[in-house]
Amino acid sequence: MSGDPCDRCEELLQDFLDRTLTNEEWATAESHLGACDYCRRRYRFEESLRRYVKLSAVERMPPGLMAKLEELRGLDATAL
């Protein structure tokens, strides 16, 4: 493990978001995120990315999009 607090926070970030850290690790990450603007922005980005991916996984495609994608896939195959 690195001695740099930002590196340590980076190591803990995904588990922090998953809420799977030990109490000690949680306190370390939470304390650092409270004091470090860079890591706090990184946390917010990761949190937003997770929300976006989760939302994208449950949203239905607009009508006609799948047909358009199939059409484009066919064009790509003929270009080879």
Structure-block tokens of residue 8: 């340590």
Q: pLDDT by residue (tens digit) across 12-49?
A: 999 999 999 999 999 999 999 999 999 999 999 999 99
What's this model's pTM, rounded to 2 decimal places? Answer: 0.63
Categorise residue 70: left if φ over 0, alpha if ψ from -120 to 50, beta otherwise. Answer: alpha
Topology at the third CATH level for domain 5-79: Arc Repressor Mutant, subunit A (1.10.10)
Q: In sequence order, what are the residues at sequence separation of 6 or more whose Cβ sits closer than 8 angstroms to the Cβ of residue 1?
A: 8, 11
In the predicted structure, residue 60 carries a pLDDT above the cut 80: no
List the domain boundaries for the chain.
5-79
